[in-house]
Structure formats: structure tokens, C-alpha cells
Amino acid sequence: MSNTMARSFLQAVSSSEEVAPPLRVVQMEGLAVLKIIKHCNGFSPALVTGQLLGLDVGSVLEVTNCFPFPIREEDEEIEADGANYQLEMMRCLREVNVDNNTIGWYQSTLLGSFQTVELIETFMNYQENIRRCVCIIYDPSRSSQGALALKAVKLTDSFMDLHRKNNFTGEKLREKKLSWVDIFEEIPIKISNSALISAFMTELEPESPVAQCDYDRLKLSTAPYMERNLEFLIDCMEDLSSEQNKFQYYYRSISRQQAQQQAWLQKRRVENMARKAAGEEPLPEEDPSNSIFKPIPEPSHLDSYLITNQTSNYCNQINGVAGQNFSRLYLMKALHEN
Amino acid sequence: MAVLQFFTPSSPIVSARLHPVVLFNICDCYVRRPDQADRVIGTLLGSVSDGVVEIKNSYAVPHNESADQVALDVEYHRNMYMSHLKVNPKEVLVGWFSTGFGVSGGSSLIHDFYVKELKDSVKDLKDAQNSVPPLHLTVDTGFRNGEASIKAYVSVNLSLGDRPLAAQFQEIPLDLRMIEAERVGFDILKTTVVDKLPNDLEGMEASMERLYALIDDIYKYVDDVVEGRATPDNDIGRFLADTLASVPKISPAAFDKVFNDRIQDNLALVYLSSLIRAQLGVAEKLNTAAQILDLQSGS
């Protein structure tokens, strides 16, 4: 009896699972935010990851808790250990009534250099198991500047489609009208706290009118940060130009191949005319065994798209910091003149 | 003659420092506690140095409480502790927490358990010099006397001769400044809903406004003192003088030069990044054009 009921419940769930509304907001609990920040800062500059737990409510994804992963090592035994750890942690957290529903993962990043093939692959893995998934990115280096560098990203649906078919030729990308901007989608983050926390924090907020983040924001020395950013940017440009070279090489070899094909066809036609005049059967105008008809594989556009994304990310960061620098400098000037 | 004496711990804990994540976690556990439970208890993890305990992490442990006995899920505690050690071996057991106001009856039983547990874990880690007695943290989630009271205790054994008589919980100072929370910003942590994270420039604006308000306050104070409206305070005066003196003395010409150089540098950077962005746009267009041409010539 209960079995049938369970089944009908499952059926009901699966039938109600038609078209999910698009994900609009990621709502994070202050607890999850603090846990992520603590884990990422504690291990910085090493990059760490962890799992996000929460609920999927309509167009809002609620992140209510999270737990860190131990630093990964390239060993199969340890990998199995890691899976055990994950299960154990989920089980333990369920016992104290934490939402044990995986909704994605978080990771720290260095200067926002998160747009990698690994991230896409991890995302695809998660996406296969859970209907809706998000990745929270935290940047400790930017946070030392006094900003809360928290970002929620997901892959766009059209990109995921393409990735499943593993098809990144220029033709397909153009068909879908997918450009490098459309790989990642940033989702606005909302933060919520329980009333209890809110009461505690209001009570405990120090009297002092200046907080640590004000000091961080008004610090004048941003040179090291800028330098790192520029260094990364230059690396990216180099990668990009080598990608471009790859494409140029590809186009050049295509046009060379076409010229060869034309020449061969010309020759064959002349030959055929001669044969016709002599009353013989004409030879076919195609020869698949000939190496010049073999299609040249097109290099994947994915890498260059990712690099382009990174580059524009660095550009944005540089612009942002430079903008802040202007404000700081003018503030300094005003102070000095007084 | 029997002598009533206190045994002070071998390396006493002087004070404790609380990481905001612990407070958040305790409150979250309290909100999610089982139906019939009055309080939640759990383990505190952290590190000890120079008598200062830094409480960095915590997790709740399920328990059952009746009139005069407490049953703690020991297995759960050990599992969770092992899991936490895997992630961060530096965060070791430092004590336990409980919600509620002050120390209650069952507390000494649980405390004894943690004393034993701590001794065992220290034996495991072969880290004897760091052995300090466990800490007991209470968080009054009921706001019983109208304020958020968070207190830390260590237990001191009271004995008559060799016979243990009782354990006394002594309160120790607890540092609640929570620099980590300041970095994130209390604006985000103290309200129940924040719709949008402040971006770089908005944060900057807020900071500058605060600075501006502070400078205004100082102006007002100095004016008041000069005009005899407020009683002068030598300490504040000295503080202001120190602050003014900390602004480096540079000649206007030199300052202008430094200032203009920095502005130029930044402009160059902005120019460079805009250039690269334009370049990216052009490259994309060219690539598409090349593909289309290629397609046409191919077909």
C-alpha cells in the first residue's frame, strides 16, 4: 500500500517536473557566506573547493549551508576516501537537520581566473546529477581590497547543449549565435540571515564608526594587485595569439587544399576531354583515396572562447581597480590640500 | 586537617576569541534543532596559542536530555571530528558550546566527557604541550536578560584533600570583535535580507561617506572646543594632533608630481584594457567574417 503510494508520489513529482522556471536569484545564508570565506581565506593562495547545500525553490536557489572538501590529491585511494568523506559529511549534517540537498559547489580563485575547461567539466558532471546547479566563486585576493568578491555563475543552456554534443566548430557556434560572452552566466546573489542572527549581530556590532573593510578599501597601495593582474593579462594575450595562429594556420591549409583540389579537377577535366575526343569513358571527377580530399579537422573554438572570457575579465578588473584608484587619489589630493 | 584547595589548570587559558562563523553556525543549529529539544550542544574546534583560544569552527552534536541525565551521541561527535580533521588538521578540539543562559546542571557531565575526549585526542596527536582544558561557550539564544550574552568558561576542579568535590566554571574574557565579520561588512550580516551585494565602487562610496562624516565630526568638535562650547579633552587633542602629523609632509610641487604620475599610470592602464577589449571585439568579428568567406569559397 505504502509502496504504491510512494510510487504515485514519485510519479506526481516526475510529472510536475516539466519546465523549470529559469534560475534568477541565488539566495545565500550568511552562514554559508562566512563558511566559504573562512575556508578560502584560510588556505589561500592554494585553491580549495567545497559543496553547497540548500533548496531549489522555483526561480530561487537557496544556499543554506556548505562544507569544505579536503585538498585533493592525485591518488585513487584518496579519491575514494574523498567520496566517503562527502557521504559521511552529508549523513552527519542531515542528522542535525541541515538541508542535505546538493545544489552545486564553491571554489576559490586567483584574480578571477576561474574560466577553465575544468570548471566546465565539473559543471557538466554536477548538472547531470542535479537539475539545477550553481557555482559560487570567491576571490580572496580581491577581498583584501575591501570588496566582497562573491560571484554565482552557471553555464548557459545553449552552451551546455553544444558541450554535450562536443561540437565547437565555427559553423555550429554561428548557427546557435553563441559568442564568447554567452558561455557563463552570472546570477545575482541575495543574502539572507535568520532573525536570530540578525539580532545577535546588531547587538554585537562594535560602536566604532570605522570597520576593517573601510581601511581595506582606502588603502592606497594597489600596485601589487595591478601588477599581478597585468601579468595574467599578458599571459592571456599570448595564449590568445597562439590560438589565433592555430586558426590562421587552419584557414591557410584549407585554402591551400582548395587550390590543390581545383588544380587536380582542372587536370582531370582536361584529361577527360582528351579521352572523350578519343572515344573513351571519362574518369570520375572525384577521387576519395587522394589525400588532398581529406577534410582537415577544425580546431576547437572552446579554448579561444575561454581565453577571451578571461581576458575580458582581467580588463574589467583593471578598469574597476583603476576607477577606485582615481577616487582614492582625488581623495588624497583633497586631504592634502586641506 | 583537610585543606580545601583549587587546582588551577597547568597552562591556564587567559582569554578566547570567537570567529563569527561559529556564532552563525550555533544560531543556525539552534533554529534547526529537533522539535522537543530545548537547547543544542556541540563541539568547538580551533587553536590555542599563548593562552588565547581561537574558536574557529563548530558543529552540533545530537543529544538527549532528561531530568537528570544527558546522552550525547559520542559516535557522531567522533565521526564529525575525524571529517573536520581531514579538511583542516590544524583545527583541533578546544571545547564545546551550548545554547542557553549560563551553565546549567547537566553541563558538568558533558564537560567531563569533553575533558576525557580532549585527553584522548591529544594522545593521538602526540601534541602534549598544547593540552589545555576544554572551554565551555554559552550562547543565550533566548535573550533572557534582554541582551545577547555570549560567555566562555573554563572549569576548575574543587577538591577536598584528594577527594574531588565539585567542578567550578570560571568565566574568562571573550573577544567578540570579529574582524572577519567586519571585512565582510556588518551591513550584510545584520539584516535579514540583502537584495544585492555592493560592488567595488559602491563600497568605496560608502567608505568615503563614512570618512567624510568622521572628518565633519572632528571639525565640529574642534570648533566647539575653540568657541568654548565643549570641554576640551587633552587625550582627544593629542590623538588629533598625532593623526594630522601622520599625513606625510610633501611640498605641493612634489605632491603634484606624484599625484599626476599616478593618475597617468592609471589612465594608461584603463586605456590599455579598453584597447584590449576593443581588440577582442574586432577579433571576433574578423573570425566570423573569415569563416563566412571560407564557407562561401568552399561551397
Residues A262-320 pLDDT 10s = 888 888 888 888 888 887 777 777 666 666 677 777 777 788 888 888 888 888 888 88
pLDDT for residue A14? 47
pLDDT at B7 over 70: no
Task: Mark yes or no for CB contact A201/B80 under 8 Å.
Answer: no
- The residues near A181 (Cβ < 8 Å, ≥ 6 apart) are A309
Q: Is the CB of residue B27 less than 8 Å away from at least one CB of chain A?
A: yes
Task: Mark yes or no for CB contact B24/A34 under 8 Å.
Answer: yes
- Closest chain B CA to residue A298: B291
Share of chain B above pLDDT 90, in %: 1
pLDDT for residue A198? 84
pLDDT for residue A55? 87
Of A114, A70, A65, which is closest to residue A94 (Cα–Cα)?
Answer: A65
**pLDDT tens digits along A83-125:** 788 888 888 888 888 887 888 889 888 877 788 888 888 888 8
What distance in Å separates residue B14's CA from the closest CA in chain A? 22
Q: Is the CB of residue A73 less than 8 Å away from at least one CB of chain B?
A: no
Q: Is the CB of residue A90 less than 8 Å away from at least one CB of chain B?
A: no
- Closest chain B CA to residue A315: B273
Task: Mark yes or no for CB contact B176/A204 under 8 Å.
Answer: yes
Question: What is the homologous superfamily of the domain A21-219 according to CATH?
Answer: Cytidine Deaminase, domain 2 (3.40.140.10)
Q: Is the CB of residue B166 less than 8 Å away from at least one CB of chain A?
A: no
pLDDT at A199 over 70: yes
pLDDT for residue A328? 84
What distance in Å separates residue A48's CA from the closest CA in chain B? 10
Sketch the domain layout of chain A as residue ranges.
21-219, 233-337
What average pLDDT does this structure show over B85-101?
85
How many inter-chain contacts (A to B, CB under 8 Å) are there? Answer: 243
Complex ipTM:
0.80
pLDDT for residue A289? 66
pLDDT band at B114 (very low <50, low <70, confident <90, very high): confident
Task: Mark yes or no for CB contact B185/A251 under 8 Å.
Answer: no
Question: Which of B17, B21, B141, B205 to mutate against chain A (most A CBs within 10 Å)?
Answer: B21
pLDDT band at A22 (very low <50, low <70, confident <90, very high): confident
A284 three-class SS: coil
What distance in Å separates residue A38's CA from the closest CA in chain B? 8
What average pLDDT does this structure show over A230-254?
87
Task: Mark yes or no for CB contact A329/B87 under 8 Å.
Answer: no
pLDDT averaged over every residue in chain A? 80
List residues bridging with B55 in a β-sheet: B18, B46
What average pLDDT does this structure show over B236-243?
86
Window 152-171 of A, Cβ < 8 Å to B: 170-171
Question: Which of B287, B292, B293 to mutate against chain A (most A CBs within 10 Å)?
Answer: B287
- Amino acid in the structure at residue A158: S
pLDDT at B51 over 60: yes
Share of chain A above pLDDT 90, in %: 0
pLDDT at B261 over 80: yes
**pLDDT tens digits along B151-201:** 888 877 776 766 766 777 888 888 877 776 666 767 777 777 777 777 777
pLDDT band at B296 (very low <50, low <70, confident <90, very high): low
DSSP label of B152:
E
pLDDT for residue B129? 47
What distance in Å separates residue A198's CA from the closest CA in chain B? 4
- Closest chain A CA to residue B41: A96
What distance in Å separates residue A275's CA from the closest CA in chain B? 28
Kind and range of the H or E element at A271?
helix A223-277
* β-pairing verdict for A60-68 and A25-29: parallel
pLDDT band at A2 (very low <50, low <70, confident <90, very high): very low
Q: Is the CB of residue B260 less than 8 Å away from at least one CB of chain A?
A: no
- Closest chain A CA to residue B88: A70
Q: Is the CB of residue A87 less than 8 Å away from at least one CB of chain B?
A: no
pLDDT averaged over every residue in chain B? 79
Identify all chain A residues contacting B280, using CB atoms and an 8 Å cutoff.
308, 311-312
- Closest chain A CA to residue B139: A200
pLDDT for residue A19? 57
pLDDT band at A16 (very low <50, low <70, confident <90, very high): very low
**pLDDT tens digits along A123-178:** 888 888 887 888 998 888 877 777 778 888 888 888 888 888 776 776 677 777 77
Q: Is the CB of residue A47 less than 8 Å away from at least one CB of chain B?
A: no
Task: Mark yes or no for CB contact A213/B207 under 8 Å.
Answer: yes
pLDDT for residue A24? 84
* β-pairing verdict for A134-138 and A150-155: antiparallel
pLDDT band at B124 (very low <50, low <70, confident <90, very high): low
Task: Mark yes or no for CB contact A205/B34 under 8 Å.
Answer: no
